[in-house]
Structure 1
Amino acid sequence: MLTRHFQHWPNRLPHSLIVPETGIVHNLEVSANRYPDKTAITYYGAELSYRELLEQVDHLAGFLQKELGVASGDRVLLFMQNAPQFVIAYYAIARVNAIVVPINPMHVTRELSFYIEDNEPKAAIVGQELYERVAPFNGQSSLEHVVVAAYNDYADPASDLPLPDVVKQSRQAIGDDYVTEWRDALAYKIKPDPVPFSLDDPVVLPYTSGTTGKPKGCVHTSKTVQANTVGAVHWGNASASGVVLSTLPFFHVTGMIHGMHVPIYSGGNMVLMTRWERETAARLIERYRCTHWTNISTMLVDFLSMPDITEWDLESLTYIGGGGAPLPRAVGEKLFELTGLRYAEGYGLSETIAQTHFNPPDRSKLQCLGIPSFDVDARIIDMDTLEELGEGETGEIVVNGPQVFKGYWRRPEETEKSFLTIDGKPFFRTGDIGRYDEEGYFFIVDRAKRMINASGYKVWPTEVESTLYKHPKVQSACVVGVPDSRRGETVKAFIVPTDQARDDVTAEEIIQWAKEQMAAYKYPRLVEFVDSLPMTASGKILWRVLQEKEWEKAKQK
């Protein structure tokens, strides 16, 4: 096990954590008992106390259990955007020992069919604007009932905050025998019966994004979820005095842990945004004195590019971190100038319910994954020989730790292929290519499946992107491999220019600059300027979409 990173471990923290042998619902019960009248959720001007949050969780759990027959081990689809109802539904499902299946709210009916066939949910809890996408499965699948929620029910209509369109929409009556409206479900006021609890029972089934193939459900238990929840609480100094700006989608593991589970565990206030809007985010930080904000680099790039960013009061922030993609160095420096905070990048996957690596908040390195989290053994192996590699050598990142999932849902063969044994311990193969430096900090090079083979040379797109981000006229970049008759593949960069450079930057300018910054086989031969890059709801750039379009175009020539 690597230990050199302990030299830079925060002095206030132990290297190992004792994680409570209780579930997430117990976390809520503890906070509700400790701080019953304290605000748990702030949502577009309205507030929900911890007493009210627990009461509504119990009422929804009772409805699921006694009216819909949801029992231990049943799957319940949670298909909605960030809202108080997402939090209530998640904890209500866990309260009856069923399994939360959080689904990306951007999915359409055709895409939903895969998830419904794969995990066979008994019921679904969905946002009102998404119901029509679920309706075709009523009576035609395992789905027996749907609870429909209107976000507007929990917002303050008198708030001066700009409401997203889906939050403005008032509750609509749905004449469908398969449907119960959210308020009606709570109105039953049924108390759920106690259910047997085991740390090893599945509690949530997040799906991989599918950017490298068909999505797979990742089986996580109370033990794995609590490991990262408690780890994040300690690493970020979370407390009941904390105010968390929750902008990442809760269906995604990073938003789930840092935006929802962490503040509930610590008794903090989560300030929710249903849709990202940078000026509203600044207003919320200023108004509610937000202390913690876990985001993605693309979100922070957008936030800091506001022309009037210096006019907002951001002094309350004590912790800003995230991941998804390397943060451009210039953006990290701008953040430090504005707030005095270093961006604490982290690294994790759906299979690890968010972080396996963190940057120490007081000693962060930009464009770096950080150091292994509590009780995590992370190593680099040769992808062909599976031999362990040393400092500075590039190979696959493999991890062993308490947050690693129990396997892919109903995919035993893929589960088995995803693990290997080192020193008698099971290590998960992340599929990410990386290295670590002399201080034990890890850096990502790229996804194994994303490597470009240009004239026999290996080109890692992330490395090229990181260099392109240093150009003052580049706001965002995505590099892909495209067919080339002479080189086999060549490097193409899709670039979103900065607002100031949109009218005067040229492809030739970028190519010539890149040529001076990196080896001849790495720099992009092709550059295309775009207004935006395709992204997942969690903010990851969909490089595969761009690459597939390029290969399809090549076939048609």
Structure 2
Amino acid sequence: MTSASFPAIEGASQETLGRRDADPWVLAFEDRQYRRSELGALTDGLVETLDRRGVTHGQRVALMSSNRPEFVIALRAIWRLGAAVVLISPSWKRGEVEHALALTRPEHAVGDQPLLAELMPMLHLDEPIAAVAQAPSRPARAPGDDAVLVFSSGTTGMPKAVRHSHAGFGLAVQQWASALQLGARDRMQIVTPPSHILGLLNIVTVLQAGGWLRLHRRFDIDQLLAHIESDGITVEMAVAPIALAMASHPTLENFDLSSLRYLLWCATPVTVSVAEAVTRRTGVTWVTAYGASELPVLTCNEIAGARLDNVGRAVPGVSLRVVSLETGQELAPDEVGEIEAQSNSMMAGYLPDSATAPAFHDGWYRTGDVGHLDTGGYLRITDRAKEMIKVRGFQVAPAEVEAVLHGHPAVADCAVFGVPDEADGEAVMAAITLRDPVRGPVDEAGLIAWVGERLSSYKRPSEIVFVPEIPRLPSGKALRRVLKERHGRSSDY
């Protein structure tokens, strides 16, 4: 199997892959392991199947799948055919999937979710994939062709599709491998959704670096800790919920975690007390990093001696600056403003196209995050300029949740905002005024369930407060910051 198995990545060689033997084990799932040659043969088999179904260069293919080896095989096969992958979260409800399909207009679908199969013809990943020796070569794709479309919510409340080219995403993979110093000796396990940019980036980077990867259907702290020990995991992605589960695990010291080079904290601000508790109990230190759906790798801390009060410095190939929230002018070191970035690994743009221009300022990508760079180039994130809520690394648009709550017959008005949460980074909170409060309070659990039935679980409010009125500007804009100050929780970030 050659480096062409991941055609989104340019210029890979056998030296880059760092192979220690001719056909190593590269992927594990439950009690099954796959050698590199087996993954190649299964990819070639799915290439032939998709080719017969009419998948061709330049088309888009929706991929809605749980975390399983067939996801990796489908990803590779679609890229081999020169098509772009539209990643749809398996946690999404019908309305969210319908919107994603209408926005991206994929010609084909692959996955394991009945919902996608109801909306368009789908090749089910439970169907056997016939391994073949080698599929015929296909037309080469251009570096600027779309490779993958992932979704990131916007201020309008409707998810936007983030377009990444083969060249751009390939560079992001190289940046990630270099920043984490990943090689053929490394072993990682993935419990984060593969439809999210972080899960996708880790899967592709580990396999491209010649390492070994275990996929999990779902997060289970005991399984995760047991596999660090049994599989000799060297790099563990421990986003906030995983870190909290480790810190609070009653028998954490009973697991042998000595194979770990470090634990990696991404997607949410570091909760220092939690990270320090894990290190104190295990002896394993942390590395912090920062990225976005639009620019997958922005910063990373040093592997040795990383600090928890910042997210490191810009990785090679990424430029950072901080600009005034009022004037847009670049600020001096240690001055707080909005973080902007430039890189060739940046997204090619959004769908709809009209959303792309507002995301940039003089050619710089506006992250929406607020922070400051010190004189050494280390970045600290302190807040967000945008009103997005970030739950476990997923962006939640308040307007989207508000639209659902406004559909409840008892809700007269509402506003949704984020509050600090130790486990998830932020939690969704809703302030609600009732149409007829005299008749008695509406059941809070019922309102939360109302949202949960219509949106993904991470968009569901964790708490609802009933207020006499929603504070608003004359323009009608809800003063979410006021509500957050009145009803939010304190934070030690």
TM-score surpassing 0.5?
yes
Q: Does 1:289 align with 2:232?
A: yes
Q: What is the number of residues matched between the two proteins?
A: 419
TM-score by length of 2: 0.77
- The within-5 A match list for 1:65-214 is 65=51, 67-127=52-112, 130-131=113-114, 133-138=115-120, 145-150=121-126, 181=127, 183=128, 185-186=129-130, 191-209=135-153, 213-214=157-158
1:40 corresponds to which of 22, 26, 30: 26
Q: What's the CA shift for 1:392? A: 2.2
Instruction: Using the TM superposition, give the Cα deviation of residue 24 of structure 1 relative to its aligned residue in structure 2, in angstroms.
Output: 3.2
Are 1:390 and 2:327 counterparts? no
Q: Residue type matched to 1:270 in 2?
A: L
* Cα offsets for 1:385-427 (capped at 9, x unmatched): 110112222211100012111111241x321121122xxxx21
Query: Is 1:449 aligned with 2:386?
Result: yes
Farther off after superposition, 227-236 or 25-34:
25-34
- Percent identity, aligned pairs only, is 26
For structure 2, the residue ranges without an aligned partner over 5 or more in a row are 1-5, 390-416, 434-447, 471-493
Structure-to-structure mapping, 1:111-510, within 5 angstroms? 111-127=96-112, 130-131=113-114, 133-138=115-120, 145-150=121-126, 181=127, 183=128, 185-186=129-130, 191-209=135-153, 213-258=157-202, 260-352=203-295, 354-411=296-353, 413-421=354-362, 426-450=363-387, 465=420, 478=427
Greater mean deviation of Cα atoms: 334-343 or 396-405: 334-343
- Contact persistence 2:154–2:160 (CA under 8 A): yes
Separation of aligned partners in 2, 1:384 and 1:366 = 29
The alpha carbon displacement at 1:339 in A equals 3.8
Q: Are the counterparts in 2 of residues 39 and 50 from structure 1 also a CA contact under 8 Å?
A: yes
Gapped regions of structure 1 (runs ≥ 5): 1-20, 139-144, 151-180, 453-460, 485-529
Q: Distance in 2 between matches of 1:408 and 1:122?
A: 19
Matched with 1:60 is 46
Give the match for residue 393 of structure 2: none
Contact 2:342 2:364 in 1 (8 A): yes
State whether residues 296 and 323 of structure 1, in contact with CA within 8 Å, keep that contact through their aligned partners in structure 2.
Answer: yes
Q: Distance in 2 between matches of 1:242 and 1:376?
A: 25
* Contact 2:243–2:275 (CA under 8 A) maintained in structure 1: no
Tell me the amino acid that sits aligned with residue 430 of structure 1. Answer: T
Give the TM-score normalised by the residue count of structure 1. 0.68
What residue identity is the alignment partner of 1:195? Answer: P
Residues of 2 paired with 1:297 and 1:475: CA distance? 6
Q: Conserved in 2, the CA contact under 8 Å of 1:375 and 1:401?
A: yes
Question: Which runs of structure 1 show a deviation greater than 6 angstroms over 4 or more consecutive aligned residues?
Answer: 187-190, 474-477
1:60 aligned partner, one-letter code = L
Contact 1:40 1:49 in 2 (8 A): yes
Deviation at 1:441, TM superposition (A): 1.4
- CA shift at 1:31, angstroms? 4.9
Letter matched to residue 43 of structure 2: V
Query: Any conservation in 2 of the 1:345–1:367 contact (CA below 8 Å)?
Result: no
- Shift of residue 447, structure 1, vs aligned partner: 2.2
What is the aligned-residue RMSD (CA, Å)?
3.3
CA 1:291–1:538 in structure 2 vs 1: closer, same or farther (change >3 Å)? farther
1:499-544 Cα deviation digits (max 9, x unpaired): xxxxxxxxxxxxxxxxxxxxxxxxxxxxxxx9xxx9xx999x65x8
Cα displacement string for residues 457-495 of structure 1 (whole angstroms, at most 9, x for unaligned residues): xxxx99x84xx86xxxx99764869599xxxxxxxxxxx
